[in-house]
Amino acid sequence: MKFVLEVDLSAGAVADAPLEELGRILRYWAGNVKHYPLEPGSGETISDSTYAPVGTWTITAATTPTD
């Protein structure tokens, strides 16, 4: 499995204060992810400090890299 966190650095409050917003997002989800099943298909929308959507996190099945 993979945990994928994707944040648009040009969106919402993240664009104005990327270090602060990314830090806040990482702290929030580090504590909150325990409330979700650790299985493919789990995920949520990520919001900035103004509650605007700026990304997602998902748990996916692992894939094998191709050459």
Q: For residue 2, which of 51, 44, 54, 42 has the smallest C-alpha distance?
A: 42
67, pLDDT greater than 80: no
Identify any residues that bridge with 50 across adjacent strands, giving them in sequence order: none
What is the model's pTM? 0.81
Token readout for 66 is 């191709």
Which residue range is the domain that position 47 belongs to? 2-60
The predicted-structure confidence for 30-56, as pLDDT tens digits, reads as follows 999 999 999 999 999 999 999 999 999
Token readout for 24 is 């806040």
9, pLDDT greater than 70: yes
Residue 12 located in a structural domain: yes
Concatenating the DSSP letter of every residue in 6-46 gives EE-TTSHHHHH-HHHHHHHHHHHHHHHGGGS-SSTT-EEEE
Residue 29 located in a structural domain: yes
Residue 67 located in a structural domain: no
Residue 65 located in a structural domain: no
Number of domains in the chain: 1
Residue 13 located in a structural domain: yes
Residue 37 located in a structural domain: yes
